[in-house]
Amino acid sequence: MTDDSTGLSTRIGVAVRTHRAARSLSVAELARASGLSKTILGRIEAGAGNPSVETLFRIARALDLPLGALLAESTAPRVRAIPKGSGDALPTDAGSVRLLHADGRPRRSELFHLVLEAGTEQANEGHLPGTEEVVVCTAGRLRVGPLGDEIALRPGDAVWFAADTPHRYVAERDGRALNWISYPVGAAT
């Protein structure tokens, strides 16, 4: 197991144990609710397991949580580059999955397809507090993010950032991207 996967396993273990305890559930009760064995859950909580996405979904469902609550880092940075091929690798029955971003908080979101001509810039003064964006470059070359912290993106790269401060999207070449905006519950856009 690599250092990255060990860190992810530890983070998942702490999250499962914390959420289970917060609901006053024993390991046996969570095992019954998730359809997993106590041994598997014990290994996961100890950070020794390497659970598949399917296993994590079963645990999240049993705890009445979004999957992101089990995967999210405890302290999130204000901006994070996500190069192509990066992210925590999670085993799955149907191939491979890489975690690019996880968040366990309730939110509402929008997804946009951006088409930007070379040399253009779109600036935004910032959304409401707690708003976040993920931009995935699908073609061209872009620079995206909070002013002064823009991340250069090539096809397949992504960036996550807190979008409640001034930010911009700059097309260094004709570019296309998917832009996911996540708002806190109750926030008006």
pLDDT of residue 2: 43
pLDDT of residue 173: 92
- Report the residue count for the chain: 189
Residue 90 or residue 175, greater confidence: 175
Residue 66 or residue 176, greater confidence: 176
Residue 151 or residue 126, greater confidence: 151
- 95 sits in the region (left: phi over 0; alpha: psi -120 to 50; else beta) called left
d(CA 15, CA 161): 23
Least confident of 62-71, 114-123, 138-147: 62-71
Q: Which domains does the chain have, with CATH numbers?
A: 3-77 (1.10.260.40), 107-184 (2.60.120.10)
pTM: 0.55
> Contact at 8 Å (CB) between 131 and 158?
no
Query: Distances from the Cα of 54 to the Cαs of 29, 59, 61, 92, 158, in angstroms?
Result: 19, 9, 11, 7, 25
Average pLDDT over residues 127-136: 90
Closest CA to 145 of 86, 83, 72, 80: 80
Does position 90 have pLDDT exceeding 90, yes or no? no
